[in-house]
A and B are shown apart, each in its own frame.
Chain A
């Protein structure tokens, strides 16, 4: 990756009372790059994402946006910079239709009233450019499948024209085909020149779409890898912190038994 990163975290630390959640963490995201953020439960992935999204202000360190140091203290700050976050629980309103959800909180107005025509038109364009297929933009979210909801939630993040999209475990609850659709969507985000931070526990997904993998372990950086040149095992050993771990032991045992 060449050029200055869109978003860079330099030496970021975050403390909750006695718990040091993040220590001296570095992370860079370039335009058109998919960065997978991996780590065990409690490694600090969610905390890191929340500091970028403005939910938790950082204690130490610097967040740089397009090369300039910025303060992100509130979710609105992050949104104004161009960070869009899709949380795991999606946060869609079941009773509103797809258009209503896409534009919730930033409705297009005409003479002070909702401009349904313009919103529907833009919603269709957005969904078309992302090749998202849903039965109708006018049916309530409750009528969509889990995968469709996930793509609507991601599309919703794009309405504000962000530069960085954070996806928190977008494929966690999805079937095979829906997972593939979401991964396709992630690739389309990259083609559009967006930086994507993808949190995932699923190594297959990470290998499939990510350009770089940033590993967190116990709140610290534990390596950053080029996906193309890194093996599955290397990433796992970075996650677990050792070459001797439950995963390698299991593989060794299976190999042993196979003989």
Chain B
């Protein structure tokens, strides 16, 4: 060991041979398609089934009615998904923890009731009424979270109790008079009916172009940072392809909306909340904590994550979003009443999240699945209304679609396991 020191150091100049087991992606579009087919085969379906489903649904109803794809009908669908969609975003957060929240329908109803009673009967400023009602909803969520995370009662039971209790609160607040109509031209009434710029076509185009620019810019920046850090990055051709697909979807949507009345406020808010939720989940430490708790509680705890707080805060988010969604439902039906949020509101929201591709088993999902799932359910409902199907048939078809989505989730989970990607 007394020889020249350079000879004693191991020779590491030769590039390490590529392990044949490593997943090496070819550059360019060919590699992109290779990876795509590999993902599909191994069960990483992503949003593919729901997009295919949407196209099939639209095709069937367009064929049956001839008016399903009319601008007016599509505009209505995008307006109506706001309420269930917002609740479904909350469901996505809860499902990521691998838990469930059965109280969201009642929380939506109670929030709508509190808002309208405060503003109409008590004469409070409507903005203040909305603020107080949403804060109450968040407090309700905190209460659920506390019983679940701190006392250790199963979330299923806590929120089942909540479903009954907050429905009771809703009836109590509304009192014997029952239904409260939305004040004319009030904030709540406008939620559903307002179009940006009173229907100016500029807004839809502006939003479409801003979306495309943000998407492409973000992808290009990310790709540049990655390649300058020496990491594998998306090639420009792939970014162009993705931007192209997104661009076509957004521009067609803008064109269709402008054929009718322009860009509806409910759609802007839903897409905004979904995008914000996606950002929180994928780009912040808090979102990472939610995934960690959903993937392994013990691992999360040992990593120093405050598991109880993550759980409580997620229930606050879901209840708050449910309250917000309740306001849109009230806006759409013109009043807050005792039935708001009952019936299949909760089930539709859960179904939307699952149909959109969020796993019931925790740890996998995106907020975008709430938007896609809500679109599927609303398309089915609207389409069946247009062909004058009975409500009984609607329920049965929606149920079948939900079952198909859960089957797909379970099967893709199994396929992922057998392909070592569970």
Contacts and interface: CB of A to CB of B under 8 A. Distances in A.
Contacts of B299: 90-93, 101, 104
A105 interface: yes
B4 interface: no
B231 A117 contact: yes
A94 B23 contact: no
A140 B422 contact: yes
A144 B296 CA distance: 16
B21 interface: yes
A94 B295 contact: yes
Given A113-B283, A136-B23, A121 B288 contact: no
A143 B231 contact: no
B343 interface: no
Contact of A95 (B23, B298, B363, B419): B363
A56 to B, nearest CB: 15
A143 B419 CA distance: 8
A117 B304 contact: no
Interface residues of A, number: 34
Nearest to A137: B231
Contacts of B23: 135-136, 139
B42 to A, nearest CB: 9
Contact of A133 (B19, B302, B419, B422): B19
A32 interface: no
B231 A104 contact: no
A23 to B, nearest CB: 28
Nearest to B363: A95
Contacts of B305: 104-105
Interface in B375-422: 416-417, 419-422
A169 interface: no
A96 interface: yes
Contacts of B19: 133, 135
Interface stretch (B222-230, B319-327, B350-358): B222-230
A91 B303 CA distance: 9
A107 B288 CA distance: 9
Given A94-B296, A104-B300, A142-B421, A117 B363 contact: no
Interface string A81-95: 000000101111111
Contact of B303 (A105, A136, A139): A105
Interface in B253-292: 282-285, 288, 291-292
A91 B302 contact: yes
A91 B225 CA distance: 31
A75 B302 CA distance: 9
B184 interface: no
Contacts, number: 95
B295 A124 contact: no
A76 interface: yes
Interface in A75-130: 75-76, 87, 89-96, 100-101, 104-107, 109, 112-114, 117-118, 120-121, 124
A106 B19 CA distance: 30
Nearest to A133: B19
Contact of A142 (B225, B231, B303, B422): B422
B22 interface: yes
Interface string A136-155: 10011011100000000000
A143 B21 CA distance: 13
A139 B421 contact: yes
A254 B79 CA distance: 83
Contact of A114 (B284, B295, B303, B417): B284
Contact of A104 (B303, B362, B420, B421): B303
A124 B232 CA distance: 11
Contact of A100 (B288, B304, B417, B421): B288
B229 A118 contact: yes
A89 to B, nearest CB: 7
A121 B284 contact: no
B296 A92 contact: yes
A118 B222 CA distance: 12
Contacts of A144: 420
Interface string B47-77: 0000000000000000000000000000000
A92 B363 CA distance: 13
A136 B282 CA distance: 19
A20 B372 CA distance: 60
Nearest to B22: A135
Contacts of B302: 75, 87, 91
27 contacts: A76-B304, A89-B298, A91-B302, A91-B303, A93-B295, A93-B299, A93-B300, A94-B296, A94-B363, A95-B296, A95-B363, A96-B292, A100-B288, A104-B292, A104-B300, A104-B303, A113-B283, A117-B229, A124-B231, A133-B22, A135-B21, A135-B22, A139-B23, A140-B421, A142-B416, A143-B419, A143-B422
Given A75-B302, A133-B19, 14 more contacts: A93-B291, A93-B292, A93-B363, A96-B295, A104-B292, A104-B303, A105-B304, A112-B284, A120-B226, A120-B229, A133-B22, A136-B22, A139-B421, A143-B420
